[in-house]
Structure 1
């Protein structure tokens, strides 16, 4: 016996990935409903590679009573309206927006990192999915933290334009084409030209000079991994369509060598270590697209700090950074609490 599952925001980048991953992982589903705004009502979406066509329904008129799990990818404003309605009807909401991430009554989950925290979902009947850049970083940090205790992390991100949605991807494509033909590359979605450029600015600026994206990485890592961990981040948008990269510098309380770290990461859940010290012996964003793993490369010791390591971390932000993590949360929820499919 399977679940009755809703995907809200089904026509967006993340929503479509959620549908694909549900099919790929053969999530036990008796019935699936795909929802979006009235603009997309009646559109057809293919359910993975099954050939089955799903008709998009208007979320405004959808009755969530009797449905088990809702995967939300509709942004904070719409989530504020619909998540409490679904949760009150008994449908557990797994939300990809930032709205509930720091709510103390809402668990913020990365299944490889803090699965036990999901037990608190009943307080609101809502579970939060972390920010894309945070998700892959904590997957990399968790096994090392268990071994040597992470004290401080300095991270620089190289985030793809798909993190800004379809508009971001379209802008990179259009600007690149315009530059080749000599037309102006006028920014609309981003604050500056993104084609053949990098922009050290994601989300809004805060009073202390950090951006909200950088703040999310700090606050969410503390909630998911350990409140004692110190994090400082510089988040940068780069002209890559899909796949976020991160350069991590990690200071530990206890001694850990690069060789030990490699051995730990090689066996860590959700991690794929590709670390050959030769030309091409590392993973780049292009190679991670469509994959489930968080790839780790360039593991090395940092001689400028006691117990320091540096590493390179790459993941498909539409998958582990969003859709995959949401489906993994649903799988965890089913195993630990709903158990309909047993």
Structure 2
């Protein structure tokens, strides 16, 4: 048989004539390779995105902690002696020490350890210090308001009591202006008090204290002006409460219930009486004690130094008694005993009533709490 060269068999084609099977396989392989590369690229992209975001987050946390630490140290320094609870500053100091120790670690170590807990703890500690500073500032405002209120009340009493009493009206007008300024400062402080602004609270406390000083000075000036026209003797001190004490401020003398003294000096008078009884076998003879404004006005005689003008007598303050039973004469045993022993119980014989005083009165005795008592 003679062999002849035959043509290679033709590549099979699909029924639709769309190309060879090899081309289809190659195309399929290319598609798969492209898909795998695309998936890998997407995975790498998102991995880098996640890692970058996490890194940024961790780096940002470290930076935030560093900034918090700086602010915390500033707060710790500025809050010294300015917190209501010193323990808050101790806690802040401890949290700062922990934060600073973490920040001192190598950068990668800090990233590994994390700073979220340290940030939260430091935030809580700084908030506690700020809150305590506000508490203290509010307490100072409260104290200043009370102090101003007491000064204002006293000033109002002086203002009312000096009306038409002959003192310099310009001084009285100055007192009125000071009182109005004090009221305005208190009204402003009542609004500020509800806030948490330390600067405003501090300013309110300053204004309250300043106004208290102004009111006090104006009140003293008014009292001195009234003193000059009401009390003729230098040892007499005018007081707007003289002769006008409330019943609750007075107490009856147990062995002489027709007479009263200021309640806070009664115990000393009782102790003095007990010692006097042990010496002489009888109570102190009380001839006069607290006098109302009206009764002092009836007793006062401008031509005689015996009774002080209304408003100028310590009898009107419940701080003086007149004693008889032998004490109404100098150098008697009773008088000399009192001179030697009354001071132990808070009662004295004032200088103006001594034998060489302005008005020699052996019977007149005063509490050591009386203004001008000496």
Same-fold call, TM > 0.5? no
Q: Which has the higher contact order (CA 8 A, sep 6+)?
A: 1
TM normalised by structure 1 equals 0.23
TM normalised by structure 2 equals 0.22
| Structure with higher helix content | 2
| Structure with higher strand content | 1
